[in-house]
Amino acid sequence: MALIKVIEHEESEGELKVIYDDLVSKRGKLAEVHKIQSLNPESIVKHMDLYMTLMFGKSPLTRTQREMIAVVVSVTNQCDYCVAHHTEALNKYLKNETIISQLKRDFAKAELSAVDLTLCELAWQLTRVPNITTELLMQKLKTLGVEDRAILDATLVIGYFNFVNRLVLGLGVKLEHDAGKGFKY
């Protein structure tokens, strides 16, 4: 049960109903993370714009890398809602249950490339101890051939998921009954 009032799809009207209907047509269904923002419909639109830009927009990072970062941040924050959703999305791209399971338990033990492992380290560090300098990790990524744009995009994804995890955890968003399956990722 959410900690604030939520307007359900069948109760929605006006601008909120248009937004909900649009989300259902584009994403397959309506997520609880969208409904938690129902008292401020514009925030749903802006939230989705940011999500689509960071997760689906042009980037030197692959979709797999972006979803992997989402999972590591969400596991670090103990946000089961986002872990479930983005594990599902990661599975669509990675198709490797063993690596996904390792990412959820201890990303450092996952069989990842040096670049992907370092991106996970960055996600963990910026989530757990954001006040500690990331200079060494940035240098390591650059040494591995990662360009500055990819580092920026990784940092944006990390920041975004820390935001969403706090929204979900802070407002008591519960995972859908189908555990996040069936969305268009």
pLDDT of residue 180: 62
Q: pLDDT of 11-55, one tens digit each?
A: 999 999 999 999 999 988 899 999 999 999 999 999 999 999 999
The average pLDDT across 150-167 equals 98
Q: Where are the domains of the chain?
A: 9-56, 63-170
Residues 6+ positions from 177 with CB-CB distance below 8 Å: none
Question: Predicted confidence band at 98 (pLDDT cuts at 50, 70, 90)?
Answer: very high
pLDDT of residue 28: 86
Residues 6+ positions from 81 with CB-CB distance below 8 Å: 32, 33, 168, 173, 174, 175, 180
pLDDT of residue 133: 83
| DSSP code per residue over 47-115 | HHHHHHHHHHSS-SS-HHHHHHHHHHHHHHTT-HHHHHHHHHHHHHHH--HHHHHHHHHHGGGS---HH
Domain 63-170 in CATH 1.20.1290.10: yes
Whether 47 contacts 37, CB under 8 Å: yes
d(CA 133, CA 138): 10
pLDDT of residue 6: 97
Task: Compute φ and ψ for 79, nearest 5 degrees.
Answer: -100, 90
pLDDT of residue 176: 87
Task: Kindly report the average pLDDT of the chain as a whole number.
Answer: 94
pLDDT of residue 87: 94
d(CA 3, CA 59): 36
pLDDT of residue 179: 67
Check pLDDT > 90 for residue 74: yes
Q: pLDDT of 75-95, one tens digit each?
A: 999 999 999 999 999 999 998
Check pLDDT > 90 for residue 134: no
Question: Predicted confidence band at 1 (pLDDT cuts at 50, 70, 90)?
Answer: confident
Q: pLDDT of 113-122, one tens digit each?
A: 999 999 999 9
User: If 0-12 CB within 10 Å is exposed, 13-18 middle and 19+ buried, where does residue 75 land?
Assistant: buried
Between CA 68 and CA 185, with CA 27 as vertex, the angle to 5 degrees is: 20
The residue among 133 and 157 whose pLDDT is bigger is: 157
